[in-house]
Amino acid sequence: MFGRWVEPLWARQFAAPFVHLVFGARQTGKSTLLRKLLPQASLWLDFSRPAERVEHLRNADLLVQRCRALPKSRRPAIVVVDEAQNVPAIFDAVQHLYDGDKRRWRFVLCGSSARKLRVTGANLLPGRSLLHHLYPLMLLERPPASGEQAISDSPSPLALPARRAREPWFPGVELLERLAFGELPGIAIAPRRQRPELLRAYASLYLEEELRREALVKDWPAFARFLQLAAAEAGRMINYAAISREAGVSLPTVKSYYQLLEDMFLGFRVTAFSGSRRKSVLSTERFYLFDVGVRNAAAELPLEPATVRANPGPIFEQWVGIELWKRLQYLGGGRLHYLRTKAGAEVDFVISRRGRIVPIEVKWTERPSSADARHLRAFLEEHPKRAPHGYLVCRCPAPLALHQRVTAIPWSCL
């Protein structure tokens, strides 16, 4: 077993007398972590199992009956429901039990898709629930390989509070391996020769199974074409018209497909920074898949470090953006943006959090220069009060001061 950054936090939060909703994409480790944190669960339902799912779909009152049959004790009985979105009525049953006796049971409902819940108008227990998310591994959870270790006390544009998990972090890995295979926990611990096959299965078999089961997509071949195009264009501004034309589906369908990826926690949007005074700033959103390994598989790229080495810059930029996005989701209260003008001036990422903004550029260089920071300097000059410092994330061996307000940092210190 390996540690996760949210582990000690969730251990404390799950003791609170609320219904706990845990969401995240498949294979991010939700069930594994819940089994570690809740080994004493009195009842564990897994609605990814067809028999169990059908049983509860046929009898909406079955959970109520099973919970009331549990023996009373001084401690609440813990009830875990995995893939709860497959039986939306289960949320009404949980509310009925919770409202009847808040101390007798503690419910943890886990899901990998919010689409069915949103479409069916499922009861998400407002005022009764705490929401938790789990994402692929962060840099802190899967440190750099021994030769790429982070430098202590190095500056970071978005540092996380230090937490000690019960088990050690995942094994360290080199940068090219990360960019080729991504950060899903199951992929991280799989033998290297099996990783390409596992990722391809995730990008095709799992998605098709999930979408067909929820009847979310009527034309699977059309969605498969869309997914390949969306993955290839990940990290760029969304061109709905071009993807619609190439995928052979309507513009509204393309937009609904992007929304579907978000509902399944498989992607996220990065909006344009709106605080600039420049009139030529572009406003189109960018879209990122939640993991570069899944992105590479969905884009049907050869899954090996040599593919990354051929054109590393765009994938490296995506990896940094995904890392920043995961941290912001865990920290809460922040947003990730980008800035680009019609003239070509660009800042890859802009973190907006607690009244401050932090511009970040990403370069695949080992020897950054002041010229690499010119767009950062222009941004800082435009926002002297809200943006005190900017960062250039690259492969330099140690932090470098490129300007009095711009620091180049190794990716391993991010």
What's residue 357's pLDDT?
A: 96
Alpha carbon distance 280, 172 (integer Å) = 43
pTM: 0.94
What's residue 118's pLDDT?
A: 65
Task: Give one DSSP letter per residue of 121-171, joined into a string.
Answer: T----TTTEEEEE--SPPTTTSPBPGGGPPPTT---SSPPPP---SSPPPP
In tens digits, what is the pLDDT along the chain, a chain of 414 residues? Answer: 899 999 999 999 999 989 999 999 999 999 999 999 999 999 999 998 999 999 999 998 999 999 999 999 889 999 999 999 889 899 999 999 999 999 999 999 999 887 766 665 556 677 788 899 999 999 999 999 876 766 666 789 998 988 877 789 999 999 999 999 999 999 999 999 999 999 999 988 877 777 766 556 778 888 889 999 999 999 999 999 999 999 999 999 999 999 989 988 999 999 999 876 666 677 899 999 999 999 999 999 999 999 999 999 999 999 999 999 999 999 988 999 999 988 778 999 999 999 999 999 999 999 999 999 999 999 999 999 999 999 999 999 999 999 999 999 999 999
> Order of strands, edge to edge, in the sheet holding 43-46?
43-46, 77-82, 105-111, 19-23, 129-133
Q: CB neighbours (10 Å) of residue 286?
A: 22
> For residue 325, which of 269, 393, 392 has the smallest C-alpha distance?
269
The b-or-e profile of 111-144 (16+ CB within 10 A means b, else e) is bbbbbbbeeeebbbbeebbeebbbbbbbbbbbbb
Domain boundaries, the chain: 7-133, 146-413
Residue found by looking up tokens 């509310």 in the block: 95
Strands 346-353, 286-289: pairing is unpaired
* Whether 199 contacts 180, CB under 8 Å: no
Topology adopted by domain 7-133: Rossmann fold (3.40.50)
Alpha carbon distance 227, 221 (integer Å) = 10
